[in-house]
């Protein structure tokens, strides 16, 4: 997962999210916006630079159960799943929203 190509990120992360009650990139974007990470999400949707998100921020917004489900899909620990999401989610949303919409 570390060597994930930018073009693969939306597909791989979407597959993991489909196995949670978030359901999709749109589902996680909605939850992050509602959880106070709207500025980061907006940067991913826009054409400018992506604002990073910390694993701790994702943990706080998504909660343990969501992270456990994502970790199980990737076959990694919850800490590693958070790192993967923090590293690849901005790119995944950016790549999946060329017109600013998912």
Tell me the domains of the chain and their CATH numbers: 9-96 (1.10.10.690)
The pLDDT assigned to 7 comes to 64
pTM: 0.86
d(Cα 59, Cα 94) in Å, to the nearest integer? 21
The pLDDT assigned to 71 comes to 94
Q: What is the mean pLDDT of each run of 10 residues along the chain (102 residues)?
A: 62 88 92 97 94 97 94 94 94 89 85
d(Cα 86, Cα 65) in Å, to the nearest integer? 17
The pLDDT assigned to 4 comes to 57
């Amino acid at each position: 997962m570390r060597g994930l190509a930018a073009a693969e990120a939306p597909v791989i992360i979407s597959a993991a999210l489909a196995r949670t009650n978030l359901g999709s990139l749109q589902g996680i974007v909605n939850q992050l916006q509602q959880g106070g990470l709207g500025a980061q999400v907006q940067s991913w949707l826009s054409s400018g630079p992506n604002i990073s998100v910390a694993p701790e921020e994702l943990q706080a917004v998504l909660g343990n159960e969501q992270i456990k489900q994502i970790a199980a899909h990737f076959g990694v620990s919850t800490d590693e799943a958070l790192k993967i999401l923090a590293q690849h989610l901005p790119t995944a949303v950016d790549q999946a929203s060329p017109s600013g919409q998912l």
